Structure 1
Amino acid sequence: MKYNNIEYTECDEVYPPAEDTFLLIDNLEVKEDEEVLEIGTGTGIVSIAASYTAKNVTCVDINPHAVKCAEKNIELNNRNNINVFESDLFENIDLKYDLILFNTPYLPVTEEEHDSSDDYSKAWDGGLDGRQVIDKFIEQVGEYLKNSGRVQLIQSSLSNNNKTIEYLNNHGFNAKISASEHQFFEDITLITAKKIE
């Protein structure tokens, strides 16, 4: 399969690239010589897109199947400035980055639907209000950004965009919706936030 100049393979147990993935790729704000981190890389194609401009890219996923899938797609595109490994959010991260990307698990999921043993569902399961992972990410992300670093995250109007912007602003960022796309019963939104020095 192909998106723009990126070839990729979809893998079992890994969230396939969809409208939210492409919205992030199409609006990436990567500058030359920057160090980029992607949380929840899935197939790796967002990191691959970023790697054409960035100095280097680190990408992580909680799902071990996604790590293998991303490795396969990185090799398929002959990218040698991407490092990929398993991590639950920032659990195994110890550096600071210029830009952090995250296509968040943003769908509200009932307790009956939630399955903590299912690696695949972790890509979209955002807990009861769709904010379980988003809020945890915002609480931690500032520690892993360089001064005046930036965050670009994807979420849905179903998980309260205004709350995310307010929460980011309260955690030392200047945040705004920088792109959105209407899908069926929701708006997929890209929120870009700059760390205030």
Structure 2
Amino acid sequence: MEIYQPSEDSHLLSNSVKDYLINLNKKINNITNINNVKYNKSSNNKYNPYSLASFINPNHINNKSINSNNNNNSNLSAKFKSSNLINSNKSPLSSSNHINDIKDLIKIIDIGSGSGIQAKTCKKLGFNNILTSDINPNVIKSLKKQGFKSINSNLFEKIKGKFDLIIFNPPYLPEDKNEPPDSRHATTAGKQGYEIIIKFLKQAKSHLETKGTILLLFSSLSKPNIIKKQAKALGYGLKLIKKQNLFFEKIFVYKIKRKQSKALL
């Protein structure tokens, strides 16, 4: 079985994914600590891992009221309307199994998976609701043999549904006519080095949950000002979270959300 090796930029994005999910893990652990959560509930309300998942991930609810206790920052008062709660026979939060239940509600897609390093990072941190995709059918075979659900797709062409986290390490170099056609899918983003990235951002709008997040890597060779301008025109807000200087370029990782999104994710 051929295993594709991650590049240096893949490691930078993987570190960003790791930091992001470690932070999310902390939020999940804090909120699912039954001793530090106070409920305002009627006799008909059932408080279970899925209702608390709604608190963590606003994609799954319409209304919420959250008040921090000024005397103890670890204490949260969460008020849920009964219509927002998912009916379940599960018992109230009491074990790590419930934390895993919440993690399984968080849908992740790794576009252009390649070696699968991003999906592996997610899995190591306990997030298993992962879909991988790639334009290269040989990559798909490799990912499936490694145990990942994987779809052979050009960006979102064959992808259905919406995701809480979208990860993309795109090809980002300008076209080089001397490059062999077989390797262009992995390196070339178009004549100017940003066309595929813009196409991705346009398509991602239909697959990103309202409060979802995109983690996107690109290079100083990709004309980043054009990418950022186009992203803002599409209704995204961007935040630089990592940067690395290489010999002939700089690579950046941006956290991208819909404008005015105030998700906890």
Relative to structure 1, the CA distance from residue 87 to residue 132 in structure 2 (aligned partners, 3 Å threshold; closer, same or farther) is: same
Aligned: 1:70 with 2:143:
yes
Q: Select 1:39's aligned residue among 108, 111, 120.
A: 111
- d(CA) in 2 for partners of 1:144, 1:66: 22
Alignment counterpart, residue 137 of structure 1, candidates 200, 224, 233 = 200
**CA displacement at 1:166 relative to structure 2:** 1.9
CA deviation map 1:19-46 (0-9, x unaligned): 1111111111234341101110011121
Q: Is the 8 A contact 1:25 1:49 kept in 2?
A: yes
* Counterpart secondary structure, 1:122: helix
Match for residue 103 of structure 1 among 169, 176, 201: 169
Q: 2:217 aligns with which of 126, 131, 154?
A: 154
Q: Which residue of 1 aligns with 2:184?
A: 121
Q: What pairs up with 1:23-38 in 2 under 5 angstroms?
A: 23-28=12-17, 29-30=20-21, 31=24, 32=103, 33-38=105-110
Q: How many residue pairs were aligned?
A: 176
Counterpart selection for 2:158 from 92, 104, 116:
92
Whole-Å separation in 1 of the counterparts to 2:126 and 2:187: 28
Contact 2:238 2:256 in 1 (8 A): yes
Gaps of 5+ in 1: 1-8, 76-81
TM-score scaled to structure 1, two decimals? 0.82
SS in 1 for 2:11: helix
Amino acid at match of 2:224: N
Structure number, greater radius of gyration: 2
SS state at 2:174 partner: coil
Matches within 5 A, 1:155-170: 155-170=218-233
List, as ranges, runs of 4+ consecutive aligned residues in structure 1 with deviation greater than 2 Å.
29-33, 51-55, 110-115
Q: Report Cα offsets for 1:151-189 as digits up to 9, x if no partner.
A: 111110000222222211111111122101111110011
User: Which amino acid is 2:16 matched to?
Assistant: N
Distance 2:258 2:231 in 1: 9
* Distance (whole Å) between structure 1 residues aligned to residue 211 and residue 149 of structure 2: 23
Distance between the aligned counterparts of 1:140 and 1:57, measured in 2? 19
Partner of residue 44, structure 2:
none
The aligned residue for residue 57 of structure 2 is: none
- Write the distance in 1 (CA, Å) between the matches of 2:250 and 2:7: 14
Greater fraction helix:
2
Asked if 1:18 corresponds to 2:18, the answer is no
| Structural RMSD (CA) | 1.8
Q: What percent identity do the matched residue pairs reach?
A: 32
- Which consecutive unaligned segments of at least 5 residues does structure 2 have? 25-102
Amino acid at match of 1:108: P
Counterpart code for 2:12: L
1:24–1:190: 8 Å Cα contact kept in structure 2?
yes
Distance 1:10 1:187 in 2: 30
Higher share in strand: 1
Q: Is the 8 A contact 2:198 2:231 kept in 1?
A: no
TM-score by length of structure 2 reads 0.62
Change (3 A) 1:189 1:10: farther
